[in-house]
Amino acid sequence: MSPERIASLAIVGRPNVGKSTLFNRLAGKPLAMVDDRPGVTRDRREARGRLGDLELRLVDTAGYEDKETGIEVRMRQQTEIALAEADVCLFLIDGREGVTALDQRFGELLRRASKPVILLVNKAEGKQGDEGILEAWNLGLGEPIPISAAHGEGMGDLYQAIRAALGEAGIDDGPTPDTDEEEGAPLRIAVAGRPNVGKSTLINALIGQERLITGPEAGLTRDAIAVDWLWDGQRVRLHDTAGLRKRGKVDDRLERMSAADTLRAIKFAEIVLLLVDAEHPLEKQDLTIADRVESEGRGLIVLVTKWDLVKEKQAMLAELREEFERMLPQVRGAPLIPVSALTGFGLDKIMPAVVALHKNWSVKVKTRDLNDWLAEMVARHPPPAVDGKRIRPKYMAQTKARPPTFVLMASRAGKLPDSYKRYLVNGLREAFELPGVPIRLIVKAGKNPYADKG
């Protein structure tokens, strides 16, 4: 493969044959959710992967079904897009079950496609898949390769087959640099919220294509899907996430896995777009998610979706701002933007707000400016005396950014009241213009210069 080109592999097949297990194996980490139930994967998921010395772009797809109504139609459309964009298709069948009628229909579709196809017989540990391997010859897709995605068996044969298929597709198989390192890592944005607030619809509207499955059914998105996007020359990675419900209502193993995937996406994001429904805004679960974002130290932007349905727009926006500031003072000043994915209203304001917030989230304040500010704050409002003794702030320094983290050295540091810490944090936010940014303030006692002297 040339330095400008990474081969794309689409992993396809009917439901529950092990596509996500193979995807995770090649990606080198558990990115896709795996469960014994069919139909867990719905949107196509992409990731970088490696097999031997081959750098690959992997695409996990939904199980292929030939139903003509319901969500299966939208899932099949996503699989067909992945097929059209791939350089090579990895077609999995279940070696234990053998070739099914659906495998045969999918095989016919792949034979008509002008793409190299590698036929893989999965779950073929030991002799378990022998019968399935014999049946697979009848699909007319060349020699079947027995593998075990769960145990890593057959990866050497798969490597050789991929190299041959890349040559067939006219793609060089030379070394490929890591584009993230060459071009700079993308800006990571997680899109979070309760179920059915329009997260996938918003991402589709932002990027201008039907990349993610949408519909009236709640809970369509199950695992966090990464979508790469180029905005104004800036590489962006949007993570669509499953809707988060109250913990007490989550009693399904798959939903618990979805929730864990969403929380992981928030943890590794830089900015989180929290979507709240204009018809039911700022419910307790919205505030719980916002609090989680702040506790993880991520930048927060609140998007009020379905704004086209609101009648008294100005009054409602003012009420929402006031309520949000009151309920979550720790992210005071976080952008609150009304949007409508249906009409496009407000979408043009999202990325400028993201960029501005990211700049503040990454800010570094000079130590001299900090200490000039600290002296002024203490002179205006000294810390209260505790047990008859005064607490004396000495100096302050910023120890890291993303989020901005400050250390205050003070005598009797453990006695400094939380109310005074909030006073200082609010002062930092106002003085250095850091609206909506989580701010960490650590108070430490200065070392006693006489402690080690006898």
Q: Does 188 count as an annotated binding residue?
A: no
Structure tokens at 396: 């302050």
Nearest-angstrom CA–CA distance, 252 and 23: 24
Q: Does 197 count as an annotated binding residue?
A: yes
Q: Does 193 count as an annotated binding residue?
A: yes
Q: Does 17 count as an annotated binding residue?
A: yes
Q: Does 60 count as an annotated binding residue?
A: yes
Residue whose C-alpha is closest to residue 273's, from 245, 238, 297: 238
Q: Does 371 count as an annotated binding residue?
A: no
Q: Does 360 count as an annotated binding residue?
A: no
Q: Does 219 count as an annotated binding residue?
A: no
Q: Does 49 count as an annotated binding residue?
A: no
Q: Does 311 count as an annotated binding residue?
A: no
Q: Does 236 count as an annotated binding residue?
A: no
Q: Does 321 count as an annotated binding residue?
A: no
Q: Does 126 count as an annotated binding residue?
A: no
Q: Does 278 count as an annotated binding residue?
A: no
Q: Does 20 count as an annotated binding residue?
A: yes
Q: Does 435 count as an annotated binding residue?
A: no
Q: Does 21 count as an annotated binding residue?
A: no
Q: Does 240 count as an annotated binding residue?
A: yes
Q: Does 15 count as an annotated binding residue?
A: yes
Structure tokens at 323: 């309520």
Q: Does 199 count as an annotated binding residue?
A: yes
Q: Does 194 count as an annotated binding residue?
A: yes
Q: Does 63 count as an annotated binding residue?
A: yes
- The one-letter amino acid code at 290 reads A
Q: Does 129 count as an annotated binding residue?
A: no
Annotated binding site for GTP: 13-20, 60-64, 122-125, 193-200, 240-244
Annotated binding site: 13-20, 60-64, 122-125, 193-200, 240-244
